[in-house]
Structure 1
Amino acid sequence: MLIVRYSDDAERKRFESVLERWRSRVKISKPSGAVVVVSADTADMVGFLDDLYSRVPREHVEVYRLTEPEFLMEPLVLRGKVETSMDPSGVWGAVNLTMARFKGVLISETQYVRRYRVSTRKGSCDIEFSVHRVDGRTVLEFAVEGFGEAVPFVYDRVSHELSYLKEVR
């Protein structure tokens, strides 16, 4: 069972798009009626079901035991680094321009680190930028984090966009 919480209609549509793409490869069904998660010990669960069955026919109720999956999905993280002779404010200007092109949304910011969320046709991911000085040069480090095709797609585009600063490593 998957529980997917979406905050708006666009997210719901993206979720339904994923369901449609995978429907031919995996068994997907949306149960009708109410779907609830009940956490209880055995005695309370038996009492709960006894009460429920006294009000709703037993054949209209399906009960399943849920367990956590045996796998853990870790996000893919791709990192890049640019060294340049530009001053930090100029590098932040390049980051701002790049994120404007991506329609990136700033989700957090400190003096030296900015984190953006970027959505593309391949999916969405987060990009974290940090700027610091080393031996008189400015170093821009960035990390693209997420799942699926979006991560390498966004990483390649960000690397290309920032390549005019200097070589991206």
Structure 2
Amino acid sequence: MIVRYENDAERKRVDYLLEKWSEKTSIKKPKGLIFFIDTDRPHEFLEDLFSKLEGEPERKVEVYKVEGTVRGVEKRSVELRYKIPEEKRVVERFIEYILTKFNANVLQKIGGSKVYEVPTRKGRGTVQVELKENNGTEVIITIQGYGDVVDFLSERIKEELTLFAGD
């Protein structure tokens, strides 16, 4: 598995996850030079490699055959819809207040909606908020992510908005 990370904090989160999962399964974090080679002559390459290493090269080199990439982990999505009898700007401020409590950061603005990244103890998720004025305010919130983060954020946002909307 190859995990590309953007900063040290992200690397540490992955290290913590590996430590947590090492109690459930066998995880090996190799040290040294790791690379992939696609050749029809692997033995010829290995002979050449072994000739460059000092000591006992057969103890220093582990070779694995990679069958291909594993796919199938899909992003989950939940949509929440509310009709709130308040002005759009009031609803917008309240939702921004909620997302600030969750330490959300605005990733992008798409038309009339905003997309936030929300870090939680269950992982990171994205929350897209779209507001439309229509005899009050229509609220459409789309939460996306992997694993438990979607349900976690969905429940927390439902609690806050249900109190606000009076549903």
Please report how far the alpha carbon of residue 88 of structure 1 lies from its aligned counterpart in structure 2 after TM superposition: 2.1
Please list every run of at least 4 consecutive aligned residues from structure 1 whose deviation after the TM superposition is greater than 4 angstroms: none
Report matched runs for 1:141-152 at 5 Å.
141-152=140-151
User: What displacement does 1:74 show?
Assistant: 0.6
Aligned residues of 2:88 and 2:136 also touching (Cα < 8 A): no
Separation in 2, partners of 1:153, 1:104: 14
Question: Which of 39, 42, 50 matches 2:40?
Answer: 42
**1:47 Cα shift?**
5.1
Q: Could you tell me which amino acid in structure 1 is paired with residue 49 of structure 2?
A: L
Percentage of pairs with the same residue: 27
Alignment of 1:105-116 (within 5 A): 105-116=105-116
- Displacement of 1:59 after TM fit? 4.0
Q: 1:82 touches 1:165 (CA, 8 Å); kept in 2?
A: no
Greater alpha carbon shift after TM alignment, 49-58 vs 75-84? 49-58
Bigger Cα displacement from structure 2, 7-16 vs 137-146: 7-16
Partner of 2:123: 123
Q: CA RMSD in A?
A: 2.1
Residue aligning to 1:29? 28
2:35 is paired with a residue whose SS is coil
The CA deviation at 1:102 is 0.9
Greater relative contact order: 1 or 2 (C-alpha under 8 angstroms, separation 6 or more)? Answer: 1
1:78-97 to 2 correspondence within 5 Å?
78-97=78-97
User: Which residue of structure 2 aligns with residue 98 of structure 1?
Assistant: 98
Please list every run of 5 or more consecutive structure 1 residues that lacks an aligned counterpart in the other structure. none
The aligned length equals 163
The TM-score, its normalising length taken from structure 2, stands at: 0.85
CA–CA distance in 1 between the matches of 2:46 and 2:114?
Answer: 51
Aligned-pair CA distance for 1:19 = 1.4
Q: Which residue of 2 aligns with 1:153?
A: 152
Contact 2:126 2:145 in 1 (8 A): yes
